Amino acid sequence: MIGVMDVETTPAGTADLHLVLAEHSRYWGERDLRSLHLFALVHEFGSTCLVARADDGIRGYLLGFVTPTGTGYVHLIATREDARGAGLGRRLHAAFEQAARDQGARRLKAITSVGNAGSIAFHRSLGFTARIVDDYNGPGRPMVVFERPLTGRVCQ
C-alpha cells in the first residue's frame, strides 16, 4: 500500500482522462466502464472533476458535477488498485465536497451497481445512506443510490 502524503489533488484535464483510460483495469478491474468516462464532463465541469497525482502517475480520480437544484453528483470515483485503503478515496471525496459546496450544493449523491460491495462499504464509511431503487436504470434494473445532506461541516 502507498500513502497519500505525496499526492496532489487538482482539476482533471482531457490528458488525464486519456491516461486513466489507458490503464483502465488498474482502477476498475475486470469491469469495463470506459464508455462512462465522458470528456464533456471534464470540459464542462472543470472544478468538480479531480485527479490525485503523484510521481508514479494518477492514483485516483473523481468525475462529478453540481445540478441546478443543488445536488453534488459523483458520476465516477476510483483509486488505483495499489493506492487503496490509504484514505485517498476519502480525500478525493472531501475535495469534491468542498468544490460542490462552493457551487451551492446542499446534498451529495452517487449510485453504484447492486453487487458493488466495496463501493457500498466506502460510501457508508463516508456517511452516505444507501438504498436500492428498483427501476433506477429501467424496468428490472436496480441501482444502489447513495445520499448525504451537506450540513455546516466538511467531512474529512
Q: Which stretch binds ligand COA (CB under 6 A): 38-46, 63-71, 116-124, 141-149?
A: 116-124
Q: Does 125 bind ligand COA (CB under 6 A)?
A: yes
- Give me the 59-78 binding string for ligand COA, x by CB under 6 A, dash otherwise: -----------------xxx
- How many whole angstroms separate alpha carbon 156 and alpha carbon 153? 9
CA distances to 18, 41, 68, 106, 128 from 125, rounded to whole Å, are 30, 26, 27, 19, 7
Out of 45, 119, 144, 148, the only residue in the binding site for ligand COA (CB under 6 A) is: 119
Considering CB under 6 A, how many residues would be counted as binding ligand COA? 20
Toward ligand COA, which CB reaches closer, 61 or 99? Answer: 61
Q: Does 122 bind ligand COA (CB under 6 A)?
A: yes
CA distances to 38, 49, 61, 125 from 138, rounded to whole Å, are 21, 27, 28, 28
Residue among 40, 57, 120, 121 nearest 49 (CA): 40
Contact 72, 63 (CB under 8 A): no
Q: Does 86 bind ligand COA (CB under 6 A)?
A: yes
Q: Does 108 bind ligand COA (CB under 6 A)?
A: no
Name the amino acid, one letter, at 128: F
Dig out the grid coordinates for 115 from the structure.
Answer: 453487487
Q: Does 114 bind ligand COA (CB under 6 A)?
A: no
Binding site for ligand COA (CB under 6 A): 27-28, 76-79, 84-90, 112, 116, 118-119, 121-122, 125
